[in-house]
A and B are shown apart, each in its own frame.
Chain A
Amino acid sequence: MKVVPIFIKSFILTLISLSLYAQSSIKPVPNAIYNSLRAELGKKLFFEPMISKDGTISCASCHNLPGNGANSIQYSFGVDTQEGLINTPTVLNATFNFVQHFNGQAKTLQEQVLLPITNPLKMATTIKMVLSKLKNSKYKDEFERIYLDGLNEENFANAISEFEKALTTPNSKFDQFLRGETHLSRQELLGYKQFKSTGCINCHNGVNIGGGMYQKMGIFIKYKEAKKLNGRIDITKRERDKNVYKVPTLRNIAITAPYFHDGKIVTLKQAIRKMREHQLGITLRSKSIENIEAFLKTLTGETPKILQGMK
């Protein structure tokens, strides 16, 4: 076989890599840092249906709060009962993502806030309309009290993004384990070890256990989506970004079903199996799938402080 020398070369390089190889790690959720006055205003705006075109939906229509910060249906509905193109990602811990949106369209939370508002399938309105509506409401005074320059596009986005910064879920069982405050069960610990050894951790790491990079959906086996989407290629126009999406967070994964960007997968077990086939190119025994599932269930955190006391 002619490929032999190349293989040998690649093995040598691999060995070098192996000797340097270091496991990446998961870090506990830090304390949320936010401006509470602004966040409280943002909270009101988050639940305000007035923002949408016909006054029927608010941010919270798709991002259930208090709850999983997403919803339990495959695709969310915008104004005029239009179905969206992508499964609603959770707003919980979104502040730890390196970019926002499935395709990284928004670099910051503040940029992201404005996207669903102008999306014709979601709120289907314009920023100008939103601002003029807010100007004729009680919000005008509130903005003027909190912001020096009162109500404008930037401050509107800032208030909501400040609220989103508060939406972190600390003290999950796993975080407590990382801090040495509690013990994991045998199965959970085994799951964590298998999570690392099978390679899940290569993409799902850091504070948010994901949300730190882009990755192709379907590395080894092509992934068939429920609704055809292009991924990051829409933004970068590069061929290699076809079917590339932001790696989502695994925090609160047990309560944010359905899974994947198309919301096709309903159970966590299925999601793990699919991931391992399409992304890792391996076969796992169902025993280890159960273990990993048990580990993922320890990632559900506390309700954010700003939401405590709400029903």
Chain B
Amino acid sequence: MKKYLILIPVLLVVISIIIFFLNKNMEIRKAETELSNLKELSYELKSAFDMHIDLIDNPEISVDNDRISKSIKTIDFMIENYLTTLNGLNYDRLYRISKIINEKKSNLTLIYEDIKTDKAVMHNSITWAINSYESYMKNKRSLSASDKRFMNYLFKAALNQSYKKMVRLNSTKYADSLNKHLKMIQTKQKSLKELKMALEKNSIIKDINQVILFSFNTSEALRVEVDALVQKLLIVSTLLLLFSLGIYARTIKALAQTTESKRELTEFTHALNNSAIVSKSDLKGNITEVNDKFCEISGYERDELIGKPHSIVRHPDMDSKVFEALWDDIKYGVPFQGIIKNRAKDGSAYYVNTTIIPLHDKKGKIDEYLSVRHDVTEFMKDKDS
């Protein structure tokens, strides 16, 4: 179980990256939806505006003011909505375009009015021309006259040539009227041409196209951003995965090593316990651990020994100076070795060749002593006798 712990932080990091990505992705999706809506709206307005301009510019229905007024109201409402949408999105460029469109909108309102006004006047003069032509034709009794002849008639009349013969009307007055109306038609045509140019100049189609282009480019950039994000996510995740795998492998290896060392230690301990009398004591000399051989040779039960000082097995024959020397050595970390005579529980004496090894803690300070003894009673008895 422990070996999997290392994967948890890695997983957490991966999950947080994925959450970040999803969040970012959602934002981008939202922006994309907004932009595509804007694009749709733009196309809608574009075609409506085109139709509207056709209506304004069409000579055939030029004087249907009710229809024109209605169309102006509709298109103004649409543009108003469009501008609100543009300003609602957080793009500087769109804001600037909306300002331009707004300006053009107020220009257009004036242009529509002027076109209506000028067309009415022009149509009035045209009406006059038609009427005059008809009355002329009636007077001439030649209904098959071509357009060319009509032009010729108007042209000659305008030049004040023999109009008296041509039309039986009050001559001078008629020529004046003709000149007046021709001039009016000419002026209004010129004016309408200019107005048409102004209409083109103030056409919002170009700006709508810019909005469409902008939204197209922006959504494209967003798509690229998403791709880059996916790429980044993949790279980061792969790296993290590799890294965590490395750590995982190392942990497994270390764990295997530890197990091996532990096994070895156990074997060593087993060997030691089977070959020697072993005990451990704290810094004051109180027994903390004994092995079976200790109990066997000393005749005490393990419970009787734990927590007692080592002097429990001290034989009165031993000189206290030996112990002083012993303490002097081991206190300073020097292992002590010597043959010590001990007394068992039943009072019998036994000799042990003792090695006391100070054991150090992680910081290098002595924290306990390990005593390893070998029974040399036989040998000593032989020596004595």
Cα-based distance from A207 to B69 in the complex (angstroms): 12
Nearest B-chain residue to A6, judged by Cβ: B186
Report yes or no: A220 in contact with B184, Cβ–Cβ below 8 A. Answer: yes
Report yes or no: B126 in contact with A18, Cβ–Cβ below 8 A. Answer: yes
Please tell me the size bucket of the interface on A: 35 or more
Residues of B within 8 A of A199 (CB): 123-125, 127-128
Using A21-B59, A281-B181 as known contacts, say yes or no to A14 and B128 having CB atoms under 8 A apart. Answer: no
Instruction: State which residues 6-31 of A face B: CB under 8 Å.
Output: 6-8, 10-15, 17-18, 20-22, 24-25, 27
A285 to chain B, nearest CB (A): 12
Chain-B contact segment, one of A41-49, A208-216, A261-269: A208-216
Report yes or no: A8 in contact with B130, Cβ–Cβ below 8 A. Answer: no
Q: Residue A202 at the B interface, CB < 8 A?
A: yes
Nearest B-chain residue to A236, judged by Cβ: B110
Using A11-B155, A283-B173 as known contacts, say yes or no to A203 and B120 having CB atoms under 8 A apart. Answer: yes
Residues of B within 8 A of A98 (CB): 65, 69
Residues of B within 8 A of A281 (CB): 124-125, 128, 177, 180-181, 184
Report yes or no: B65 in contact with A17, Cβ–Cβ below 8 A. Answer: no
Chain B interface main SS type: helix
Nearest B-chain residue to A240, judged by Cβ: B114
Chain A interface main SS type: mixed
Instruction: State which residues 48-91 of B face A: CB under 8 Å.
Output: 59-61, 63-66, 68-69
Report yes or no: A207 in contact with B66, Cβ–Cβ below 8 A. Answer: yes
Instruction: State which residues 103-127 of B face A: CB under 8 Å.
Output: 110, 113-114, 116-117, 119-127
Residues of A within 8 A of B123 (CB): 21, 199, 202
Report yes or no: A213 in contact with B110, Cβ–Cβ below 8 A. Answer: no
Q: Residue A146 at the B interface, CB < 8 A?
A: no
Report yes or no: A206 in contact with B65, Cβ–Cβ below 8 A. Answer: yes
Cα-based distance from A4 to B160 in the complex (angstroms): 12
Residues of A within 8 A of B60 (CB): 20-22
Report yes or no: B126 in contact with A21, Cβ–Cβ below 8 A. Answer: yes
Nearest A-chain residue to B69, judged by Cβ: A98
Please tell me the size bucket of the interface on B: 35 or more
Cα-based distance from A14 to B129 in the complex (angstroms): 9
Binary interface encoding of chain A residues 91-119 relative to chain B, with 1 for a CB under 8 A from any of its CBs, else 0: 00000001000000000000000000000
Report yes or no: A24 in contact with B155, Cβ–Cβ below 8 A. Answer: no
Contact of B117 among A6, A13, A206, A244 (CB under 8 A): A244
Report yes or no: A10 in contact with B186, Cβ–Cβ below 8 A. Answer: yes
Q: Residue A255 at the B interface, CB < 8 A?
A: no
Q: Residue B14 at the A interface, CB < 8 A?
A: no
Q: Residue A197 at the B interface, CB < 8 A?
A: yes
Binary interface encoding of chain A residues 191-211 relative to chain B, with 1 for a CB under 8 A from any of its CBs, else 0: 000000111011101110000
Top 7 nearest A-B pairs (CB, nearest first) are: A212-B65, A199-B124, A24-B63, A206-B66, A213-B116, A199-B127, A98-B69
| A to B CB contacts below 8 Å, 26 in the list | A4-B155, A7-B186, A8-B155, A11-B155, A15-B147, A15-B151, A17-B122, A17-B126, A21-B59, A21-B60, A21-B130, A22-B60, A24-B64, A25-B64, A27-B66, A199-B125, A203-B124, A205-B64, A206-B69, A212-B65, A212-B116, A215-B120, A216-B121, A281-B124, A282-B177, A283-B173
